[in-house]
Structure 1
Amino acid sequence: MDLEAIPGVGAKTAERLAELDDPERALREGDVAAIARAPGISEGRAARIARGAIRRDHDDPGGFLGTDRASELYREALSLLQARTVTDYAARRLETIYPSATESRIEEVRAFATAAMDRDPDPAVRDALAGVEPLDAPGDVRIRDRCLATGDAETYARAQEAIPEVSVELVDDARKLSELARGYATVIALDEDFTGVEVDGDVRVEPSALENPAEVVPERVLTFFARNRDSLRAAATVAQQADIEVDCDLDALADALDQLDDDGQVRGDEELDRLTTAVDDLDAAVSTAESVANDRLREAIEERDVTIEGADLLTLVERGAGVDSLLGRELADEYADAVAAARDHLVDALQLRDTERIARQTFPDEPTFPVERDESVVSRLREELTAARDRRATRRKRELAGELSDARPAAEELVDAALDLDVELAIARFARDFDCTMPTLSADPGFEIEGGRSPLLDVPFEAVEPVDYGVDGVTLLSGVNSGGKTSTLDLVALMVLLAHMGLPVPAAEARVERLAELHYHAKTQGTLDAGAFESTLREFGGLVTGVGDEDDETAASARKLVLVDELESITEPGASAKIMAGILEALDERGATAVFVSHLAREIRAAADFDVQVDGIQAVGLEDGELRVNRSPVKGELARSTPELIVEKLAEDGDEQSKAFYRRLLAKFE
């Protein structure tokens, strides 16, 4: 796949996408999570790239949303779906679902949405989804206790690229290798030439190390799983509760995750814990042992009466001897006991094993007071314990990384499955919340809606009155103010948008013509000036001349639905009626489907040179000053206006003289 052929993908972005394990699959499936794993690509950017890739894959030219109002309604419909997601990922993934004129794309989403509608949006699953996030590939792992060594420049370059987490050093001979071994806990020589070379320290000759990075840097694997531990656990819970089939041993994954701490260090290993504690507590344990020896020796001195003959004292003074000599002569056994107690305390406190011999050399055999540690011995003990700890940690890291490295693809699949489930559950919740059904898309012109209810209205969905409405051809929709004409247009547009997105619609039943474009012109606020008026006419001119030509073989694939709300407001009523009549004539000649909402239906019908279909949202009457309306348009009937209803009511009340006056006014409406 030529990545740069995807709309919106340049050379730099293509390079980043190429770093993915399988960029073609991710782009083909619109896998936002996988695309977002490419360096420097956010989820929002990933969603746009995925949308472009989908369009390219389906040869979809785009352009279905022909006007700002159509785009606005699409965003509102998308928001209804996104509001029912749990994860940010699912909200982004839904952005890859867009209204399309391409049959293959519509059918692809319809199949996905149909399966999603069978999902049970279990609250427990949704709670678990709250902890699922796209996996993060840590790029900040840096290992300072080991290095790679080679004498070959080409190998040096390959090593830096393959394992950037550790330092790579150029060495010429065993002497330089030995120098590295003094500075690093472990040196891994990449050249076979070093085989058999004996140097002090942990030096390993592993020519194939670059082929097994997890052996050299197990932290790469462990940090990945540690950073993503919470998300993996939440995804495992989702998989279990939602009964998702994943190629992942969830029990084994849980056991492995339990062996990691937040920093990617191995935990739960008794020997490693012992060595770690010994290193951490060494100074404190030595100080305590020192105190044990001095306390014992002090007590022994205080309890003993030491008598020194004058000649002995003179001899000691002549020799320059001090208290140490006195201790050695008079309290040798007590000193030995005190030091033994100190040594035992140090060994027991740190639970020393292999290093016990070194630890017992911490306090000297020669009597002294106060008893003091031998810092050189303590330093050597620290080095031995630290080396043993690091060797144990590295071994355990390698063992655990070996278990987890092969599990990474399955772990990624597990999280992706949970995130994709959130997308499905959002569609399922949308369908249930708004009593949706899957619409029929057909080549037959027009649309037919039964029991349609708009979730976009500013009232609870349960309170929305169902609407039945169908149009085949060019139609004028009339009705009283606040009777629901605009909301009916919104409902039609919403049905068309959702159907061409491949999603269910909020209706008992719906049939929608397969269209190439949706043009929805919202109500203009106020009369336009000359320039704006001309611009509006040019827009409609381009629209009507581009709609379905009978002689064009591609007419069926270029059909447009035109929805217009009160175009008469663009200029004076008389001129508006003539202009609208002319537009409707052009649309009718081209076999288009259009619904024009207007208060000038009577005038437009009179100005048109064809029999314009007029439907009406009929007012049932006035009740306590409130207008009562039948929200479903009545075919072929011009709606009565609010003023007419008021005059009619007045014609039925009052004295005969008043009634006569109002009946005369009422006759003007006929």
Structure 2
Amino acid sequence: MDLELEDVPGVGEKTAAALRELDDPEAALERGDVAAVAAAPGVSEGRAARIVQGVVRQRHDDPGGFLATDRAAELYDRALSLVTEFAVTDYAAKRLRTFYPSGVASRVDEAQELAERAIEKGVDEAAREHLADVEALSRPSDVRVRDRCLATTDAETYSAARDAFPELSVEVVEDARDLSELARGYSTVVALDEEFAGVAVEGDVQVEPKALEKPAEIVPERVLSFFAANRDSLAAATRVHRAAGMDPPLDLDTLEDALARLEGDGSVAGDEELDRLANAADDLDAVASQAEDVANDRLREALAEKDVTIEGSDLLSLVERGAGVDSLLSRELGDEYAEAVAAAREHVVSELDLREGEADRARRAFPDEPTYPVERDPEVVTRLREELQAERDRRAAKRKRELAADLADLRPAAADLVHAALERDVEYAIARFADEYDCTLPTREGTGFDIEAGRSPLLDVPFDEVDPVDYGVDGVALLSGVNSGGKTSTLDLVAVVTVLAHMGMPVPAESARVPAVEELHYYAKTQGTLDAGAFESTLRDFRDLTAGADRKLVLVDELESITEPGASAKIIAGILESLHESGASAVFVSHLAGEIRENCGFDVTVDGIRALGLEDGELVVERSPVKDHLARSTPELIVEKLAEGEDGAAGERAFYDRLLEKF
């Protein structure tokens, strides 16, 4: 569908503006990429998940509202946590939060198809280990390029350039003279106006009227910094694809080769000539100083080994001419001086690995005229350093452009590579959940439910110690049973299976059919008798509940506690009658099942969790409810035990028998 950001539920004008800061917000929303949406300024992870849910609801015309009560919402949170705990990546944990129970068949089918694929693929443990190093791609926001600027004479072009290239300085110029001034302060000036073509300007000035259309050439650092910041994640995603045998969206060897040419700071790696120039520029001063020491050490050794004799007339002549030690060196140690200077020059050339033209300039740093001590010419050294730096920068810029061009072509597919790896983690989490809790994919049909060998994952015992439960209801039923016999946990099992099924997730059972309902109403056990106002409010809730009840599953735990037992039985019977007439699916847990049945105007089903007795003071029950069975209460079991175990006088036995007759 054509997605308008402002039309997405929960997205206002400000949020839409924030989302537009992303590279492709519409695509991110369509594919449910919560991490990408959360990268928008001011959008939290929780809000991103809700926004993505809004897109899903919009796509399926889903009004929401499946979780109609607080208890239903609580069970959804707990069920979702069971799935997300198997996620390796933050992305998968966030993405799984976009799965929600829905009453719209198309949405549930879409999610269940994903779950079915996940279970069929299974989990590759090697690939899952590599997922630990995969993260959602980030976009560096601190890229600044200070050796380059853009120049234009046009105000409109200036504004467009600033928007297109926030990494660069953009300057307004009037003529070629202004360009020359800029070139003195920048390694490269990119002129955006055609009028500068063919104009002779000192410095590195490039005329690129279409620069705004070629960002990778003008600012290769943008692409390089992106890949440098995400190289670990890309490398890990590559390993995931290989381990899992996934079909990658690009050639993995090509990506790895390109990344191998990139340093962690975004500079180009593996270019020996660039490294040579960088090292030569950085080390020039230190090596030149060493060369001075080489020359002066040679001269000192020569002086120490040679006797120099100056006759009086020669000395007088030197003094008359104002000559000093330099003249003496030239006359007496000319050859030795030449050798010392040659050694200094070759030291610089060899240590910096200078090429022919560079070597000639370096040699000029040490003059032929004898001096002592031997010193480099600082102006020559400065010019050489500037030339080396300029050559280094030109080569670096060229290599950056070449590498950026290669990587820019890979960027969309690289993003797909990481996204596919992260989506595989979503599938692995679902598959691991299904395996851990012995799940199956349910069916959604009819107005009742039927669960075989279901085990609740919400109990405070290890899952493998949970007794399996078989239970099914068509229409409306009462569920009876002793205290602590498992009535509430059975109701929880029905609810969590229903919630997971409508999320499109597998459910913890050997097989399961749930009703294709639009709302789940689960009313937890109330604490104590309600006051008049709360009691009245509760009755209004159930009045509203009966409207459209055929599209609802109603689960109620011990509603009788809202008021006096005698009145409760009559009220619950009336509610059940309304639900029955509306064609609803409902289970009411109650200790008053017998009294409610007597007050019902239809033949309501009463199921029971059968108590098998007491052993060592512990209740023994048959966990699966028995159809059409009114379960005995705990007090009855205790009285029966006392009656059967009483060996006292006949009158004492008769007392317990009389109590039993009352049940």
**TM-score, structure 1 normalization:** 0.95
Q: Distance in 1 between matches of 2:442 and 2:67?
A: 19
User: Do structure 1's residue 351 and structure 2's residue 353 form an aligned pair?
Assistant: yes
Q: Alignment partner of 1:104: what SS?
A: helix
Q: CA deviation at 1:547?
A: 3.4
Deviation string, structure 1 residues 32-77 (Cα, Å, up to 9, x no partner):
2443454443443322111001111111000010001100000011
Q: Distance in 2 between matches of 1:98 and 1:609?
A: 38
Q: Distance in 1 between matches of 2:155 and 2:48?
A: 38
Q: CA deviation at 1:407?
A: 0.6
User: Do structure 1's residue 582 and structure 2's residue 574 form an aligned pair?
Assistant: yes
**Partner AA of 2:262 in structure 1:** L
**Partner AA of 1:409 in structure 2:** P
Residues 594-633 of structure 1: pairs in structure 2 closer than 5 A: 594-633=586-625
Aligned to 1:667: 661
Aligned to 2:394: 391
**Partner AA of 2:157 in structure 1:** T
**Partner AA of 2:438 in structure 1:** D
Q: How many residues align?
A: 658
Q: Alignment partner of 1:147: what SS?
A: strand
Q: Distance in 2 between matches of 1:21 and 1:313?
A: 83
Q: Distance in 2 between matches of 1:275 and 1:22?
A: 40
Q: CA deviation at 1:647?
A: 1.6
Q: Alignment partner of 1:121: what SS?
A: coil
Aligned to 2:548: 547
Q: Is the contact made by 1:653 and 1:659 (CA closer than 8 Å) also made in structure 2? A: no
Deviation string, structure 1 residues 546-604 (Cα, Å, up to 9, x no partner):
233xxxxxxx5xx1111111122223323322322222222222222211111122222
Q: CA deviation at 1:320?
A: 3.4
Q: Alignment partner of 1:74: what SS?
A: helix
Residues 487-636 of structure 1: pairs in structure 2 closer than 5 A: 487-544=489-546, 546-548=547-549, 559-636=551-628
**Runs of 4+ that moved beyond 6 A:** none
User: Do structure 1's residue 199 and structure 2's residue 201 form an aligned pair?
Assistant: yes
Q: Distance in 1 between matches of 2:541 and 2:320?
A: 120
Aligned to 1:179: 181
Q: Distance in 1 between matches of 2:46 and 2:548?
A: 35
The correspondence for 1:158, drawn from 148, 157, 160, is: 160
User: Do structure 1's residue 367 and structure 2's residue 376 form an aligned pair?
Assistant: no
Q: Alignment partner of 2:586: what SS?
A: strand
User: Do structure 1's residue 402 and structure 2's residue 396 form an aligned pair?
Assistant: no
Q: Distance in 2 between matches of 1:338 and 1:18?
A: 67
Q: Is the contact made by 1:33 and 1:416 (CA closer than 8 Å) also made in structure 2? A: no
The correspondence for 1:470, drawn from 465, 469, 472, is: 472
Q: Alignment partner of 1:511: what SS?
A: strand
Deviation string, structure 1 residues 441-479 (Cα, Å, up to 9, x no partner):
11x211111111111111111111111111112211111
- Structure 2 residue runs without a partner (length 5+): none
Q: Distance in 2 between matches of 1:618 and 1:539?
A: 32
Q: Alignment partner of 1:148: what SS?
A: strand
Q: Distance in 1 between matches of 2:292 and 2:84?
A: 67
Q: CA deviation at 1:281?
A: 1.4
Q: Alignment partner of 2:120: what SS?
A: coil
Aligned to 1:280: 282
Aligned to 1:252: 254
Using the TM superposition, name which of 83-92 and 597-606 deviates more.
597-606
Q: Distance in 2 between matches of 1:245 and 1:36?
A: 27
Q: Alignment partner of 1:396: what SS?
A: helix
**Partner AA of 1:272 in structure 2:** L
**Cα RMSD, aligned residues only:** 1.6
Q: Alignment partner of 2:453: what SS?
A: strand
Deviation string, structure 1 residues 227-285 (Cα, Å, up to 9, x no partner):
00000000011111111112211001001111111110001111011111112212221
**Partner AA of 1:132 in structure 2:** V
User: Do structure 1's residue 415 and structure 2's residue 409 form an aligned pair?
Assistant: no
Aligned to 1:551: none
**Partner AA of 1:468 in structure 2:** D
Q: CA deviation at 1:108?
A: 0.9
Using the TM superposition, name which of 630-639 and 163-172 deviates more.
163-172
Deviation string, structure 1 residues 92-112 (Cα, Å, up to 9, x no partner):
111111000111111111111
**TM-score, structure 2 normalization:** 0.96
The correspondence for 2:308, drawn from 301, 306, 318, is: 306
Using the TM superposition, name which of 646-655 and 286-295 deviates more.
646-655
Q: Is the contact made by 1:150 and 1:171 (CA closer than 8 Å) also made in structure 2? A: yes
User: Do structure 1's residue 646 and structure 2's residue 638 form an aligned pair?
Assistant: yes
Q: Alignment partner of 1:136: what SS?
A: coil
Residues 24-423 of structure 1: pairs in structure 2 closer than 5 A: 24-353=26-355, 354-423=357-426
Q: Is the contact made by 2:35 and 2:94 (CA closer than 8 Å) also made in structure 1? A: no
Q: Alignment partner of 1:276: what SS?
A: helix
Q: Distance in 2 between matches of 1:415 and 1:236?
A: 8
Aligned to 1:552: none
Deviation string, structure 1 residues 128-154 (Cα, Å, up to 9, x no partner):
001111111112211111111222222
- Structure 1 residue runs without a partner (length 5+): 549-555
**Partner AA of 1:376 in structure 2:** E
**Partner AA of 1:448 in structure 2:** D
Q: CA deviation at 1:377?
A: 1.2
Q: Distance in 2 between matches of 1:504 and 1:596?
A: 25
Q: Distance in 1 between matches of 2:92 and 2:614?
A: 47
Deviation string, structure 1 residues 308-365 (Cα, Å, up to 9, x no partner):
2223223333333332232222212111111110110011000011311111122222
Using the TM superposition, name which of 26-35 and 515-524 deviates more.
26-35
Q: Is the contact made by 1:28 and 1:57 (CA closer than 8 Å) also made in structure 2? A: no
Q: CA deviation at 1:426?
A: 0.7
Q: Alignment partner of 1:652: what SS?
A: helix
Deviation string, structure 1 residues 610-637 (Cα, Å, up to 9, x no partner):
3332111111111222211111011111
Aligned to 1:484: 486
Q: Is the contact made by 1:451 and 1:507 (CA closer than 8 Å) also made in structure 2? A: yes
**Partner AA of 2:541 in structure 1:** E
Q: Distance in 1 between matches of 2:28 and 2:290?
A: 61
Using the TM superposition, name which of 133-142 and 78-87 deviates more.
133-142
Q: Distance in 1 between matches of 2:197 and 2:44?
A: 47
Aligned to 2:8: 6
Q: Distance in 2 between matches of 1:37 and 1:410?
A: 19
Q: Alignment partner of 2:588: what SS?
A: strand
Q: Alignment partner of 1:14: what SS?
A: helix
Deviation string, structure 1 residues 154-180 (Cα, Å, up to 9, x no partner):
222222122221111222221111111
Aligned to 2:455: 453
Q: Is the contact made by 1:473 and 1:593 (CA closer than 8 Å) also made in structure 2? A: yes
Q: Alignment partner of 1:338: what SS?
A: helix
**Partner AA of 1:511 in structure 2:** R
Q: Is the contact made by 1:74 and 1:494 (CA closer than 8 Å) also made in structure 2? A: yes
Aligned to 1:425: 428
Q: CA deviation at 1:533?
A: 2.7
Q: Alignment partner of 1:117: what SS?
A: helix
Aligned to 1:553: none
Identity of aligned residues (%): 69
Using the TM superposition, name which of 449-458 and 531-540 deviates more.
531-540
